A = this chain, B = another copy of it.
Amino acid sequence: MNQDRVNATYLVETPYSLQVAAEVIAGEQSTGTFTAVPGETDALKMKFGARIEKIAELGTAGKPTLPGYNIPAGHDGLYRSGLVTLSFPLHNFGPSIPNLMSSIAGNLFELQQLSGLRLVDLELPIAFADRYPGPKFGIEGTRKLTNVYDRPILGTIVKPSIGLAPEQLQKMIIEVSSAGLDFIKDDELNANPPYAPLEMKVKAVMEAVEKAADATGKRIMYAFNITGDIEEMKRNHELVVKAGGNCVMVSIMSVGLAGLAHLNEYSEVPIHGHRNQWGMMTRCPNLGFEFAAYQKLCRLAGADHLHVNGLNSKFYESNESVVRSIQACISPMYGGYASMPVVSSGQWAGTAIDTYAATKSVDVMHLAGGGILAHPDGAAAGFESMKLGWEAAVNGIQLNEYAKKHPSLKRAIEKYGKG
């Protein structure tokens, strides 16, 4: 690709022709006013303007997705959809994620010539890699820290997500550590609340982690939710690291990509990136962002792990969309920037089958809350059933078949699934 330009591909819906819509989008990114102004010369447009690289028509519909569009004169009643790729000169904003966003997103979603706009892909020149070093640990570093190879990192989430007393939390950590789990994370609802300040939690958790490690010989990775204001996040990170913690978690949309990149400047442990609030950016199919585009920015900004929802989850997202996100996360950027996709929500042993079938990769973190903790025979059986689910998946064995030899898997199927 041209290293002097950023390519952005949009799913466009418009009552105009796609060509007109593409020109409007490109124009909004150069003069940005509703009437011609002095100084807007052709030379200036040539040097700084966005350029239409490609228009691929997808089809038409009789109804628009979004309100507030204009009807062109002589409109035939059809709304055209297509993929429009624009390129922006890098020197307009430089390799800066915040200023990139003002250009590739900016006011574009508000244009009257569009009845739908969604950013579906993004190609960023190498200059961004020079500015943003990306994940310090990624897949390899996380495997090293957890000593788990050749299968997904299997873990769980602190539940109930709020209100657990320190002693209860310790009990839970001991339980899941004894069960052999690789990983456990705070819930996104639980960061540094007044009823259980992070300082207190870190102390309690690390006591339990070390105690369990002494007993089992394996130290669980615990992702402390350090989401907070900018300086608070720094203090929280320091608290975790000083206590010997080995992972921090942030809600990316709460701290912003700028907040994530800032954390990545001083972080000493993997950053577990949670994407809660993402739904509002993506659930309307013709608005916002596709995760395949957004995850690139999260990786640039330093997310070592990145939530992607889960197949057959309790959420609205289609399996196709989840698979696209996982595949996007495991695609190399600049030959690296590896971030581990985190498959979560409504997960249990059975969802390993579909996840593997769709991605052919074990480089994921697979998290189950109820799917491990509420296993009829306890957390150890729950963990075992997850491992067995992945064994079956990778070896192409039917889950029900494999369950015949493995009671923990059989019991999981009875409780959570249909096999």
Contact = CB atoms under 8 A, between A and B. Distances in A.
A112 interface: yes
A356 B363 CA distance: 59
A38 to B, nearest CB: 7
B91 A193 contact: yes
Contact of A102 (B251, B285, B373): B251
Contacts of A110: 278-279, 283, 309, 315-317
A157 B35 CA distance: 13
A114 to B, nearest CB: 8
A97 B227 CA distance: 10
A32 B94 contact: no
A109 interface: yes
Given A254-B258, A277-B105, A316-B67, A96 B34 contact: no
B159 A276 contact: no
Contacts of A189: 29, 32, 92-93, 102-103, 106
A160 B40 contact: yes
Interface string A236-268: 000000000000000101111111011001000
Contacts of A194: 90-91, 94
A416 to B, nearest CB: 8
Given A69-B316, A259-B259, A289 B285 contact: no
Given A316-B110, A369-B33, A227 B262 contact: no
A315 B93 CA distance: 23
Interface in A215-245: 227-233
A159 B281 contact: no
A258 B256 contact: yes
A227 B102 contact: yes
Contact of A47 (B32, B47, B163, B230): B163
A159 B103 CA distance: 15
A66 B105 contact: no
A388 to B, nearest CB: 19
A315 B231 contact: no
B162 A92 contact: yes
Interface in A376-415: none
Contact of A191 (B30, B36, B96): B96
A2 B82 CA distance: 50
A37 interface: yes
B112 A314 contact: yes
